[in-house]
């Protein structure tokens, strides 16, 4: 009995399918590498290294403006402060730098580095004595000194805003014990600190509910 060989038509089908598989594989590899490089570039600019780079450039620009060995202070908040203080994970990014306070020499350069001074929503309900609790950001500037509110005041700001990202930030800070609960509760319980900035009783109750909710969630997840 004679065995017939594979027909040219079948061979062409195999060859075509093989090329399709190779094409799909190369397509996936190319796009995987492209996405990985894009993500790396995104993290480098909007992550901690990118934020530090912008502060370094601001510091160098200030060097040509500041005279008589004076130093320039700015106070930052929001996601930028959390990233610079290592209060959240390495994958946390922020698209802008929120500035609570700054001297004039620095303000004229903010637009160049995507720094945002439109932060009335932050200051509106900041605890009265937050400035006294400021902490210095680990940044060795030539003329620039960077500060942020205390961890507890940053958490209060996040709870006031309470967007999804804010909730995740506070939850992570609590779980990693980056917030001193006693200090936080002392600020909240002092009517002259935070309560005084809530004209509406319902808003104050909402804040307390949010605080209890996030504390309970952090405790529950920490027990798992």
Report DSSP state, residue 136: E
Angle of helix 181-189 relative to helix 151-161, nearest 10 degrees?
60
- Length of the chain in residues, anyone? 224
CA gap 105, 117 in Å, rounded: 14
Q: Residue 181: helix, strand or coil by DSSP?
A: helix
The position carrying tokens 């004679």 is: 2
pTM of the model: 0.79
CB 82 within 8 A of CB 137: no
Backbone angles phi, psi at 138, to 5 degrees: -70, 90
pLDDT in tens, the chain (224 residues): 444 555 665 566 655 565 676 667 666 766 555 555 444 444 455 688 889 999 999 999 999 888 878 899 999 999 999 999 999 987 888 878 899 999 988 988 988 888 888 776 677 889 999 999 999 999 999 999 999 999 999 999 999 999 999 999 999 999 999 999 999 999 999 999 999 999 899 999 999 999 999 999 998 887 65
């Amino acid at each position: 009995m004679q065995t017939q060989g594979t027909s040219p038509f079948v061979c062409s089908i195999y060859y075509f399918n093989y090329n399709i598989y190779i094409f799909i594989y190369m397509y996936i590899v190319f796009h995987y590498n492209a996405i990985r490089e894009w993500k790396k570039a995104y993290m480098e600019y909007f992550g901690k290294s990118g934020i530090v780079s912008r502060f370094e450039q601001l510091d160098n620009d200030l060097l040509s403006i500041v005279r008589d060995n004076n130093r320039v202070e700015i106070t930052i908040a929001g996601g930028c402060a959390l990233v610079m203080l290592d209060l959240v994970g390495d994958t946390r990014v922020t698209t802008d730098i929120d500035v609570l306070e700054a001297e004039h020499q620095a303000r004229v350069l903010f637009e160049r580095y995507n720094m945002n001074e439109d932060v009335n929503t932050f200051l509106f309900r900041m605890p009265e004595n937050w400035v006294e609790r400021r902490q210095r950001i680990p940044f060795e500037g030539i003329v620039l000194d960077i500060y942020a509110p205390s961890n507890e005041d940053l958490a209060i700001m996040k709870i006031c805003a309470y967007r999804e990202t804010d909730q995740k930030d506070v939850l992570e800070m609590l779980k990693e014990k980056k917030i001193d609960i006693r200090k936080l509760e002392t600020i909240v319980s002092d009517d002259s600190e935070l309560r005084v900035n809530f004209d509406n009783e319902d808003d104050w109750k909402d804040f307390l509910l949010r605080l209890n909710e996030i504390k309970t969630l952090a405790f529950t997840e920490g027990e798992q």
